Structures are given as C-alpha cells and as structure tokens.
Chain A
Amino acid sequence: MPEHFSKSLIEQFRDRSLDVSTLSAIAAHLESCVECYELFREAFRDKKGGATARFTLSSAVWLKDEHIEYEQIVSYVDGSLDAEDREILDKHIELCMRCRDDVRNFVAHRQQIEPELKIRYVPYEKQPKWRHFADWLEGFRLPLKPAHAVYTLLLISALVAAIIFLRRDGSISHSGAPIANVTPTPTPNAPTMPNPIPGGSAIASQSSSGADKSRGGPVDRRQPRRISLAGAEAANWRDPERLLVSLRDGGRQISLDDTGALMGLGDLPASTRRLVKETLSSGEIQRPAALDNLSVEKGGVTRSNFTVQPSLKLISPGQVVIIENKPVFKWEPLKGALGYKVYIASRANWDGLSSPTLTPTTLEWTPPTPLRRGETYTWVVSATTEKGELTVPASSEPERKFKVLSERGLSDLMRLKLQTSSRLALGLFYARSGLVYEAEKEFQLLAAENADSTLAAKLLKQARSWR
C-alpha cells in the first residue's frame, strides 16, 4: 500500500470505477490520511461543480417510476390492500397516466365481464365420427348371427319411424348443434348473450355465483337449468314483481328486490353496496355527522368596529366538506372597499394563514400552501374601508367553517371513481362524507335520468337541504 494515492487513482475511486477490493483499500486509507482525504474532497467537488447540491424528500419523485403490476391492480380494485400499500398506489396513480389508464381499463373490464361470470363454458369433446360408430358397436358384443342382424334392423327401423313421427308431431325439439346455449333473461342493462358459436363451441349455462370461481359437477349440456338464488348478482332473471325499487343509473339499471338482493352494482366494494342497499330500502339519506360539526356557531371575538354592518358576503367555501386542499375563497364585493385580506384558521389549534392585502377588485384568493387534510377550518374576510376595517362574519354571525376531506376519504373517493360511474353510489359517498355540492350534482343527474322516480327526487331534495 503506497503512502499516498495519486490524483488519478482518487478520481477513479470517486467514480467508483475500481474493483471492490481496491475501493475498500482506498476507503480505509482515506479515513486515516488527511492529505488523501482532502484530495478526494477536491476531486469530488471538481465533479460536482460550484452549485450546492440539493435533494428532495418528496416520495412523488421516485414513486412515479414504480409502476403497478397485475397483482397490485387486482388487489387495488378488490380493495384488499392494506392502508399503506393503498396510499403508495394512490400516489403513484395520481402521477402516472399509464397506470391510471391500466386501472381504469381493468375496472371497465371487471364491469364488462361481471354478467359473463354467470355463464358456464365447457369444452366440447369432439370425437371422430368413426369413434361414435365404434362405441355404438361396442354395445353389440354378442356374436353377430343372422337372427341378431335381423332383430337389429327391425329395432333401428322402429326407432327411425318413431323419431320421424315425433318430429312431425313437434314434441321433440332437436338441435343440430353439438352443444346448447341457454341465454338467461338479461337484466335491462346486461349485455345480451351472443348466439351459439357456429360449428360447435361452448355451452352457455349457469353458475350459482358469478363472483365465486366454483368448479362444480358436470354440466348438463342439453338442459341448462336455473338454480336457486345464492347471491344478489346471480339473480339477473328475477321476477320483476319482486323488485322494491329500480333506477336507471349512469346507463345501467340497478334494483333492489324484496329479499334485499341488489342488482346492477356488482362492481362496487361491499361497504358502498351496503350503503346503496340501505338507502334504497329506507328511501332516504342520513345527514352526515361531519356536517353537524360544521353547523352554525357563534364566534367568540368582536371582529368589527362597525356598528351597522354594510354588505360583505362570503360565498364559498362554507359549512361543507371540500375535496380540494387548496380551495378558492370567494366573496362578494363591498362598496367602498380599499382592499381585502383573508384569514384562515384551523379549528384544531388555531394555526392559521392569511392572504396579503388584496386589491379591491380581487374577489377570490387561493392559499399558496395546501390546508391539512381532515381538518376543520374557519375563515373570515377583512375589508379595509375609509371608515375602518370590516371583518365578516362578524362576532354576532355564525362562523364560516369547512372541512377538508381526509387523506383516507380522498383515496376512497379516487378508488370509487375508478370503479364505478354509478351516480347513486358516488352521490351517496359524497353525501356520507359531507361533500354536499358534489352529492347534489350526482343526485341531480340521477333525478334527470329517473324523472318519474320519487326516490331520486327525494335524495336530491335532501342533499339540497343541507346547504
């Protein structure tokens, strides 16, 4: 080992272009030799250049390259990921259009094949024609004597005559196709089963549950049968008279029958299906607890030095939950205002932020940094006039509060939107989360699609009443 290393060797060390043992030897030497260590620093800085290097702690930077694999897509759509995995995938999906498209495509595929899972296909066991004949002959193991041949011919003649007679009578329906196809009565929105495959293909029959991959006993090729109900989605041929409620929903038909079976929403997670069923059964939606916490309260401090309140009204947000964590704060103009200032404070710890003084023509403001998700905020606008400062809402008025949708709520929403286009499901999700305006919008579309439905109108009315 030399006393000191050359500059070129140190540069090779810096570039990591040496073999492992040489790198180790130089590293060990640098730790004890100040001169060589300084040489390394010099070489390293030569490479780095003048500017200060920086690094980011944003996971978005590396997550964008962590594309989703098939198994992850399945777990994501099935909702079987743990919270952390889901958070990671949500972040990636937000950044990566390709994976977002992959998930969307997969969700669409799931929706498309949902009714198809009830159809049973089995292989058509083709046998050469000579084999059928040989099998037939197998039954005649007796020595072929002339008398037997005569009996056989007589028997065949009788059978042929019987078949001709029955066919004329129409009592036997005969299919020339080697296999049968039974098309279950489709739901109004279910795709129609295509015709039997020409030349002999698969049997379309039944299954007790489309979602379960059950491999039961042999399938009756000629007489597919309907079986008893095992699950709501299996019942696509149900008696319409048993339906409690039926709605058109984003191009599909959804319904709930008197046994509590929900049809047409097989693509939804269990919790959302439950919510939809409860709503369809009860015919109403519960006011979310989140809104109770945002209901009007009195403010605690005097914020105005005016005795008579001139007109300054806050427009939005207020008394609802919002999705955006950088909402736009809007207010109506105040006559004679010289400028405005917006103050936002967290209800949890009164941490806050404020806008700079805004010009009199500015009537909205977006905070430069996002608000914390899951937190409730209160906000005021302070207008400067020649007479002094006016803050709205005043202490005598209800506080203007809103809540930012939590991280969990946002990721649930993203997943739901990827999974379904159901107005009802999305509307109920929004309603339950306190996203009043979004719920109202979905129910409005649902009501437009179901002009004759009192239920759709009622849902819309309820959501509107929460504003």
Chain B
Amino acid sequence: MDSTLLAFLQTTDADERERLLSNLILEQAAPSVRQVLSYRLRFCVGKGGRSPTNPDAEDLYHDVIAKLVKILNEFQAQRKNAGIEDFRQYAARVAVNACNDYLRSKYPSRARLKDNIRDTLERHPSFDIWRSEQGETLCGFGAWRNEANKNSFHERARKLEEQPEIIRQERFGILDSQKIPLPKVLARIFEWVSCPIELDSLVNATAVLLDLKERQIESLGDDSDLSASAPSGGELRYDEVLEEKAALQKLWDELRRMPANQRQTFVFSFENSKGDDLLSLLFDAGVTTPSQMAEELGLSLDLLMGIWKEMPMRNVDIALLLGVERQQVNKWRYRAMKHLEKRLLGPN
C-alpha cells in the first residue's frame, strides 16, 4: 500500500494527520485529477484549482477533491483503506467516474453514442476493446489487440485525440448515421487512424462524423433533465407518512431486526422531509443514543460521528465507504425499504 496513505491511516496525531492529508490530496491526488480532467474533458485547471474561463471545470475539480477528502477522513476514522493499493490511481478513478457522470448529464446524446460504441466494440467480431497496461481503454480492430503492447500510437491517433474535427476534414465529410451503420463508421475511423485509439477519442471522432448535436435542455445540477414523471397516485400507496415519535421508535425496532448491511445503508442514507438525518431524529426523540446506535451499527462512536457529519449519504458514497459496488448498496437499501414498507405500512 501507498506509504503516505498507510501513515495517514495509522496516525493518531491530529497535526500529523492534517499534514499527511494535505500531502495525499495536494501532492498525489490533485495532479492525477487535473490530468484526468484535462485528458477526458479538456478542462484546464490550474494548481490552485482555478479555471477562470470555465466554471464547470472548477466545480468538477473541487467536487472530486472534496469527495477524496471525505473518503480519506472516513477511512482514517475506520483505520481502514477499503483495499486502496495506489492512491494516485484511486484518485484518478474517482475523477474518471466524475467525468463520466458529468458527460452523461451534460451531454446525454454523446453518452448514448458512447454506450452504443462500447456495445458494438464488445459484440462485433471485427472489433475489440481492452485496457492497456497504463489503464487506458483502447479499441480498434480485433487483430490489433495483440499488437497493443508495441504501443504503436500513431501520429494520426494523437491528432484525432487533440482535434477530432480533423477526421471530417481528412476524407469523410458528414455521414448520415441513418444510412451508414455504426460498425461501418467505426471501421472507417480505424482504417484511417491505423492503430488502436482511446475509446473517448473514438467517441469524439464518431460524434464529429455523425454531426451529433446535443439538445440544449439540460444543465448540470438541474433536476429537470431527469423529468421524473411523477408516480401515479396509485403507485404512491406506500408513500405514507408516519407520525414522528411513535414511528421513529417502530422504525428503530425494525431496523435492529434487519441484516447489518441493510441497516447501515438505511441509516446512512436516511433523510426526512426537512433534511434531518436519522441519528439526530432518534437521539432527539429519546429513542436511542449515539453510543447505542454505534453499537447497533457495529461501529466505534468516533467512526459514527465521522459518518454522521456526512449524513444523509448518497448510495454512491455509501458504496465507497463500505467498499462495495453502488448496485449492491441499491439492493440493500431497496430490501430495507421493502422490509419497512411491509412491517410498518402493512400489505395495503
């Protein structure tokens, strides 16, 4: 494991902890994050986290850094690292995920094109997609995979990466995606570039060739893009309210009967209509104390207090905390909800 990370997790001295945290974030994570943002999104962020011309870049950078600080603090409180061997790589992965989320919400058409391209590369017998030793997602003709180690990155691949529009100028013009099937478009790009390329490069080039346009209806942080069609009245049959104190007691009794993972997931993510967390509510109502809750959750009081600062947590953050996939957390939370629906609201 990373020696600085190990030292950070083991230290009990507050000053030393701060120093090591700064080192991990500023010396290790920040350069990786800046690199990923620059490579994935061409976002230029300075050393101080500033990007005067691009507020999105600044926001994204600081979001990733804040997330990493939070994760490190939680690991420190638990004295565990959830299997992080290389913190730089871990930070890069968190940044890549943040970039993907950003692209998906800001550019849904591009995200869909990327899904389609990935699927084509995975299913079409002529193509392949693989990870390089450097952790890049490369793709190309299947026959190129075995040659990938030669690292035969071509001048054209570099050009394509830096300036995807070049593909149109070179020879293709705009293709009618309705007439030319995606595999054929990919084959044409691969032919031109003559060597494996990064998936994102391919997606950018394909988007240029297909003249992909985003509908200007979405913006970051705007929930309207979700267009969550409100569930019909009938579907809200479980969306009933419970009076606070008696309900909290019943809720806590039920939670104690649940498997530990479901209990943790529910408690960490709980939020009432006013944004209150469950620990505050239960403590205020005299249902349980922080120490009792820590014991029920199998945590130390310190760790619970560390998590409490972050409550209510999103599933993705709970997944990072528990070292599991987000889908697993979704399942635990879903099971917990169903259990509670059944026990607290009855069959109707």
Residues of A at the B interface (CB closer than 8 Å) are: 14, 16, 20-21, 23-24, 27-28, 30-31, 40-41, 44-45, 48-49, 52-67, 70, 72-74, 84-85, 87-88, 94-98, 101-102, 105-106, 109-110, 112-113, 116-117, 119-124, 126, 191, 194, 197-202, 207, 210-216, 325-326, 368-370, 372
Q: B interface vs A, CB < 8 Å?
A: 73, 77, 104, 108, 111-112, 114-116, 118-120, 122-128, 140-144, 171, 179-184, 187-188, 190-191, 194, 225-229, 231-244, 247, 269-274, 276, 280-281, 283-284, 289-291, 301-302, 305-306, 308-309, 314-315, 326-327, 330-331, 333-335, 337-338, 340-341, 344-345, 347-348
A58 touches B331 (CB 8 A): no
Contact of B327 among A20, A49, A59, A85 (CB under 8 A): A85
Do B182 and A31 touch across chains, with their CB atoms under 8 A apart?
Answer: no
Contact status A213-B122, CB under 8 Å: yes
Set B188, B237, B327, B333: member contacting A72, Cβ < 8 A: B327
- Determine how close the nearest CB of chain A comes to the CB of B244; give it in whole angstroms: 5
**Interface contacts beyond A59-B334, A62-B315, A121-B184: sample of 12 additional A-B pairs, CB < 8 Å, sorted by A:** A14-B280, A30-B289, A64-B228, A96-B228, A105-B115, A122-B143, A123-B140, A194-B180, A197-B188, A211-B123, A325-B234, A372-B347
With a CB–CB cut-off of 8 A, which chain A residues contact B280? Answer: 14, 44
A120 near B126 with CB under 8 A, answer yes
Q: Is the pair A20, B306 in contact by a Cβ cutoff of 8 Å?
A: yes
**CB-nearest residue of chain A to B234:** A370
Query: A101 to chain B: which residues have CB within 8 Å?
Result: 108, 112
- Given the interface contacts A60-B239, A98-B226, does A117 sit within 8 Å of B115 by beta carbon? no
List of A residues within 8 angstroms of B111 by Cβ: 102
Does the CB pair A123–B194 fall under 8 Å?
yes
Find the residue from B226, B228, B247 having the highest chain A CB count within 10 A: B228
For B333, list chain A residues within 8 Å (CB).
59, 62
**Docked-complex contact B302 and A24, CB < 8 angstroms:** yes
CA distance A48 to B115 in the complex (A): 44
Assuming the A-B contacts A54-B241, A66-B315, A84-B331, are A105 and B228 also in contact, with contact meaning beta carbons closer than 8 angstroms in the complex? Answer: no
Residues of B with C-beta under 8 A to A24? 301-302, 305
A20, A28, A113: the one contacting B309 at CB < 8 Å is A20
Please indicate the chain B residues that have their CB under 8 angstroms from the CB of A123 in the complex. 140-141, 143-144, 190-191, 194
- Taking A54-B241, A58-B236, A70-B115 as contacts, is the C-beta distance between A28 and B124 under 8 angstroms? no
Q: Which residues of B sit under 8 angstroms from A109, Cβ to Cβ?
A: 115-116, 119-120, 182
In the complex the two chains form, what is the Cα distance from A119 to B183 in whole Å?
A: 9
Q: State in angstroms the CA–CA spacing of A61 and B247 once bound together.
A: 19
A202–B124 alpha-carbon span in the complex (Å) = 14
Residues A202 and B236 in contact, CB atoms below 8 Å apart: no
B181 (CB) vs chain A CBs: closest residue? A116
Q: Do the beta carbons of A98 and B291 come within 8 Å of each other?
A: no
Q: Which residues of B contact A121 (CB under 8 A)?
A: 124, 126-127, 141, 183-184, 187, 190
Collect the chain B residues with CB atoms within 8 Å of residue A41's CB.
Answer: 284
